[in-house]
Structure 1
Amino acid sequence: MVSFNFDDWLIGFSTLAILLFGYGLGFYFFYKSRKMKETLLTMLSLSMISVSFAWLPVVLDFFLVIITNSSNTLLVYIYLTWIQLPFTVFFSQYVAAELLLPSKKIYIIYFLELIGILFLISLFLDPINSVNSFGYPLASFYHKISLKINLITGIFGIILIVFVFIFSGIGYLYKSLISKNSIRNNFRFLGLGMIFISLCGFLDNIANGTILVLIRLGAIIGLFLTYRGLKPKIRKKQVSFEENMKILSYFLRKPKSADILGEIEYYQKLLKRPITLFMSFYPDDLKLYKISELIQKLKDFPEINKKIYLTHEMDGDIFEFTQNAIDKFDIMLLFCSKEALSSAEVKSQWISAFENDKIIIPICIKLDFIPESLRKNEKLIYDLYDFNKNILNLRYLILKSIFLK
């Protein structure tokens, strides 16, 4: 008869929860990534599946003891617990290297492969002395099998865990600070997820007892945050969830200016209907920004609706604007100048659009002319000497913004 105490049941079922959550999330993203043929999503999904293997031995031993009233050999659980570590780190850091330091990716991969191989060699050469086992025979099943961090195997393992914490955890958070508003939260969630997973992995290695429940709950939070980092923000169901996932994966890579035309073609293929624009500007800025010419150029592009709403069509009536126009356009192009900043009409229009969660793209000559609330938005710095450059960059921003806010 199994004689589990409360701590045994708590540790057993909490570990089962993280195992199911990790596998479920990992296989879900693996299925989606293979369907979309997205390599980065595939690699990250494999890292989720792999990291969940760390808790598989605990769950297996928990149920084995329930069924047979005896535990398995320690050697089996050592291999099941720790063989996954270099593979988990490789998969997750391959993605991080691609997104954070693509030019140095090959060196990062070589370094991780070297440390991973040394870790596995040292583990296979002396598995029993490389770990501490907690639980059985002191309790009824293995609560965990941790590395001895004062031995060579443990040192290599800690190097891998710390690398994940610093490179992808801190790295993604830094990337979120310098990224555009559209993907800032994605990098922030990815960074927090990696920090939680690596930190909880380290704490799981040194802690014991029921505190393991809280640590493994933290690992679940880490997996969930990683999921949030990969989860696209669907805008009005213009495209399917799978297409949004593909777009998000595409956006996470930093676009090169030389590829703007190619990216415009990419977004055009995903667009379901033309984009309707509203142009808000101060009348004296018509010549400064060549707004009439800009309108004619934009109407020539297939992704732009021929009907473009303009400031003067609203007759200064903000109630009419809010009631009749706010739902008719997708993006507001806000032409910013010193005069526009102090214009009650322009101000009321962009504030109304802002409060209704509309996409607003500020267009300015100086950043100081952009309203404070909109300075984190995707913006166009208008070049007074290169009209065609302005058109190209504006098309890119319009198409990009319509998919990710």
Structure 2
Amino acid sequence: NKSKGYKNLLENSDAVIIITNSATTNLQNTHRLYSELKQKVEISNIYIFANFQDKEQTAIEKEKIEEIFGEKTIALSAVKPESKEVLMNVIEQISNTAISGKKFLAFVSYATADSEFFEISKIAKKLKKHSRIDDILYWEEALKDDIYDYMNNNLESCDILLLFCSKNAKNSEPVQMEWKTALKIKKPIIPIFQTEDTIPPLLSTKLGVQFKKYDIDATIEQIYKLILKKLDLT
């Protein structure tokens, strides 16, 4: 498949599982597919599942298949009940590896009038020093965009929303749109507040972080730990 969507799907995948049987003819076709994938996209984790229910004389042993592909090969027989458990164990391993190595994007929602008080740029810069964070997106860092375009282009691709709550934020139309949109598309939200009465009522039950201006580093660390907890990355 030469479509851009197919390529994007592969590039955004944590792993690719290729299932083949162990017959020579099938392995040749599978290897062609494998070579095409490797040329088109960079995939860090590829798993070969070789089905050994074949009765053919041309069936190739697991070790030889590993040599041909240069990838870890899992041998199984589709007709045997225990093969399901083998497959599920590998999928669980892939999932755990993906989660442990995943980097995430955070979108910062705040009133520009609060930028200095909350030290938004400092918080973003310090959070980005953590290896698990890919980027912290906030509008003032990308002033070339209209704020609504920035929201539209970035909010959906982020993993979590950091909402800085204040009286200014309550009166800010963009901030209101950001957290309501995040809520609608089921993005995790962390309210960051100085006083609890500034948290929107709809978000009052969500775990948040109290902003301590006199101890900004402790606040940043609390935000980071809560991000990991909300995203199940602890």
Question: What TM-score bracket applies, with the shorter chain setting the length?
Answer: 0.5 to 0.7
1:308 aligns with 2:136: yes
> Residues 88-127 of structure 1 correspond to what in structure 2 (within 5 A)?
none
Report what 1:334 is aligned to: 163
Please list, as runs of the form range in 1=range in 2, the aligned pairs for 1:219-258 lying within 5 A after superposition. Answer: 240=92
Tell me what 1:298 maps to: 127
Q: Which residue of 1 aligns with 2:174?
A: 345
Q: How does 1:50-69 map to 2 (within 5 A)?
A: none
1:317 maps onto 2:145 in alignment: no
Match of 1:357 among 186, 194, 215: 186
CA RMSD of aligned residues (A): 2.7
> Which shifted more, 354-363 or 286-295?
286-295
Instruction: Determine the C-alpha separation between the residues in 2 that align with 1:398 and 1:240.
Output: 23
Matches within 5 A, 1:84-233: none
In our comparison, the structure showing a higher alpha carbon Rg is 1
Cα distance in 1, alignment partners of residues 187 and 106 from structure 2: 11
Secondary structure of residue in 2 paired with 1:340: helix
1:375 aligns with 2:204: yes
d(CA) in 2 for partners of 1:350 and 1:277?
Answer: 13
Q: Tell me, yes or no, if structure 1 residue 286 matches structure 2 residue 115.
A: yes
Question: For the residues of structure 1 that align with 2:92 and 2:139, how far apart are their CA atoms?
Answer: 33
- 1-side partners of 2:199 and 2:93: how far apart? 33
Q: Secondary structure at the match of 2:163?
A: strand
Q: Residues 262-306 of structure 1: CA distance to partner in whole angstroms, max 9, x if unpaired?
A: xxxxxx99533211011111111111111111111111110111x
TM-score by length of 1: 0.32
Indicate how the Cα distance of structure 1 residues 321 and 391 shifts in structure 2: closer, same or farther if over 3 A, else same. closer
Residue 346 and residue 311 in structure 1: after superposition, are their counterparts in 2 closer, same or farther (change >3 A)? farther
> What are the Cα deviations for residues 71-99 of structure 1, in whole angstroms up to 9, with x where unaligned?
xxxxxxxxxxxxxxxxxxxxxxxxxxxxx
Q: Which residue of 2 aligns with 1:91?
A: none
More strand by share: 2
Superposed, which structure 2 residues align to 1:76-91 within 5 Å?
Answer: none
More helix by share: 1
| Partner SS state of residue 213, structure 2 | coil
How many residues are paired up?
Answer: 140
Deviation at 1:326, TM superposition (A): 2.8
Match of 1:41 in 2: none
Unaligned ranges ≥5, structure 2: 1-90
